[in-house]
Amino acid sequence: MKSIGRYEIRAMLGQGGMGRVYKVIIPGIHKIAAVKSLEPSPKLVEKMGMNRLREQFIQEASIIANIRHPNVVEVWSLEETDGRLFYVMEYFCHNLGTLIGEAYWADSSTRVVRVEKAVKAILDVLQGLSRLHHEGILHQDIKPFNIMFTDSETAKIVDFGLSRKRGESSAEGEGILIGTKFYAAPEQITAPDDADHRADLYSAGVMLYRMVTGRLPKPIPEPPSHLNPDLTSLWDRLILKSIDPAPDQRFQDAEKMSMAIREIYARYRKNKEMACTLPDASGKSAESEQARTHLTAPLRSKAGRILAKQGKSVFGINDLYRPMTYIQNRIDAIQDDLLMDHTTGLIWQGSGSPYPVSWDQTLEYVQQINEKKMGGYDRWRLPTVNELLSLLNPPPPGEDFCFQSPFSSVQKWIWSGDTRSDRASWVVNLEMGFVMSGDVMDFFYVRAVCSL
């Protein structure tokens, strides 16, 4: 299938029992959007009937379309063409599942998110849930892949396929899991019709635990501070309360949970800032320094087509797509917004493109700075993945508040010159320190490089 209605299908983003979600191109304006199509499984049709599934699908679209909130995805239209029912909604390049490196086997370890970033994300999710719960809507499937990020890193809740109004019965029936394993609250399994808004808060708590520890909580959860030395017992109490098996023992609404997180994070940040004023606050931990190695061979500088199966070996990355080794580099400012790495002999933009751009716009950007001879150079190019990885610091054992990078913190997702296919190129997340591929129609930043 190459199209759905008037929309050209770019890729399939996911599928569930009710249907599939596609990445599409809106004709005329060439804008990317997401389309969810009603394509239920035969078993679900047999159990519920197509008429009821259509009603539920239309209700799902209506639920989202009538919620106006910055932390809830927008639905633009409900359409039907040639008997196919679907709705069109906004699309974003990033989601929490990709950010942490969650795989289909979700119980594998994931990348740990800095406390500051985890708090920002979970507060956005809680604000979105507060809005939904105000309308009596239960999401029932809060999980990392259902949390998207805008270019400005605002989190948005998506996928309302399992949502229902408070008081409505679950459509799937008794004894069937409503939600996603690992993230669903216990009552969503034992008594789905009795589950209320506190089940969504439980799922948010599991996501917070996951982000700051890199693990899912066990049946008897290990205190997060035992897994992340940056946390204290205050975080333990808060996070363990949010995932208590008993709904009455959890936070009773999203606002109360948000207030508790803000209060503890304010203390956390104050203590971190005070620690940075101490004489021995060098900004880099001994563990981080020990994890670095000297450059033993020139970095791969010629961009090329690197297939998915070649990525790990060519880039030298592990299962979480992070570097196996980190280079001991020495970076100095040489002029306004230009930095030189004396170890690799590379000159870098300190910032780069002011806005995220598509692949075609990326190539235009590099051409423009060469025409202007930025900094007196006209050999600017897109860096290879290996060159971008040379800028990374080893993940510290805790949040590295004191360390100030010489590079701009705005440009986090950076295009490399390496392509994966005609429609995808490799991207490096400099904040979380990992490699991924992105559609050439997606939007990331540019940070150009110049070899001496």
Q: What is the pLDDT of residues 54-95, one digit of tens each?
A: 998 998 898 889 899 999 999 999 999 999 999 999 999 999
Distance (Å, whole) CA 16 – CA 56 = 14
- Does 194 or 224 have the greater pLDDT score? 224
- pLDDT at residue 168 greater than cutoff 70: no
**pLDDT tier at 283 (50, 70, 90 boundaries)?**
very low
Instruction: Give SS3 for 224.
Output: helix
Buried b (16+ CB within 10 A) or exposed e, 216-247: bbeeebebbbeebebbeeebbebbbebbbeeb
| DSSP of 408-426 | -SS--EEEEEEEEETTEEE
Distance CA 123, CA 168 (A): 27
3-class DSSP state of 217: coil
Task: Name the pLDDT band for 359 (thresholds 50, 70, 90).
Answer: very high
CB 87 within 8 A of CB 79: yes
Region 26-43: what's the mean pLDDT? 92
Nearest CA among 21, 1, 16, 142 for reference residue 86: 21
The mean pLDDT of 221-249, rounded to a whole number, is 96
* Model pLDDT, residue 170: 55
pLDDT for residue 174: 46
Q: Is the pLDDT of residue 284 over 60?
A: no
- Which letter, b or e, does each residue of 72-101 get, where b requires 16 or more Cβ atoms within 10 Å of its Cβ? bbebeebbeeeeebbbbbbbbbbbbbbbbb
Name residues whose C-beta falls within 8 Å of residue 405's C-beta, 6 or more positions apart in sequence. 393
CA 352 – CA 356 distance, rounded (Å): 10
Mean pLDDT (whole number) for 336-358: 95
Which secondary structure element, helix H or strand E, spans residue 11, and what is its range?
A: strand 7-15
For residue 401, name the pLDDT band (cuts at 50, 70, 90). low
Domains within the chain, CATH numbers bracketed: 3-89 (3.30.200.20), 95-276 (1.10.510.10), 291-451 (no CATH)
Query: Rounded to an integer, what is the distance from CA 99 to the centroid of its chain?
Result: 4
Where does 113-195 have alpha helices with state H?
115-134, 187-190
345 vs 84, 289, 301, 415, CA distance in Å? 57, 21, 11, 20
Query: What average pLDDT does this structure show over 33-55?
Result: 91
The C-alpha atoms of residue 7 and residue 420 are separated, in whole angstroms, by 25
Q: In the structure, what pLDDT confidence band is assigned to residue 402 with cuts at 50, 70 and 90? A: low
Confidence of residue 398 (pLDDT cuts 50, 70, 90): low
Q: Among residues of the chain, what percentage have pLDDT more than 90? A: 72
Please state the rounded mean pLDDT for residues 138-162.
91
Beta strand extents in 55-211 (DSSP E only) = 75-81, 84-89, 94-95, 137-138, 147-149, 155-157, 164-165
What is the pTM for the complete model shown?
A: 0.90
List Cβ neighbours of 87 (8 Å cut-off, separation of 6 or more).
Answer: 35, 36, 61, 65, 75, 76, 77, 78, 79
C-alpha dist (Å) from residue 60 to 39, 198, 356 = 14, 20, 31
Buried b (16+ CB within 10 A) or exposed e, 260-285: bbeebbeebeeebeeeeeeeeeeeeb
Any idea which residue has 């159990």 for tokens?
47
Structure tokens at 423: 């429609």
Euclidean distance between CA atoms 427 and 438, whole angstroms: 6
- What whole-number distance in Å separates Cα of residue 398 and Cα of residue 309? 32
User: Where do we find the tokens 């599928």?
Assistant: 15
Give φ, ψ of 403 to 5 degrees.
Answer: -70, 130
* Distance from C-alpha of 316 to C-alpha of 323, rounded to nearest angstrom: 6
Question: Which of 155-169, 220-234, 264-278, 321-335 has the least mean pLDDT?
Answer: 155-169
Other CB atoms within 10 A of residue 145 CB: 18
Name the token pair of 111.
Answer: 């990348």
Question: What residues form DSSP beta bridges with 88?
Answer: 35, 77
Do 167 and 227 form a contact (C-beta atoms < 8 A)? no
If you count them, how many residues does the chain have? 452
Question: What confidence score (pLDDT) does residue 279 get?
Answer: 63
Give the whole-angstrom CA distance, residue 316 versus residue 435: 11
Q: How far apart are CA 110 and CA 373, in angstroms?
A: 42
Angle (CA) 42 43 45, round 5°? 65
Averaged pLDDT, 366-383: 96
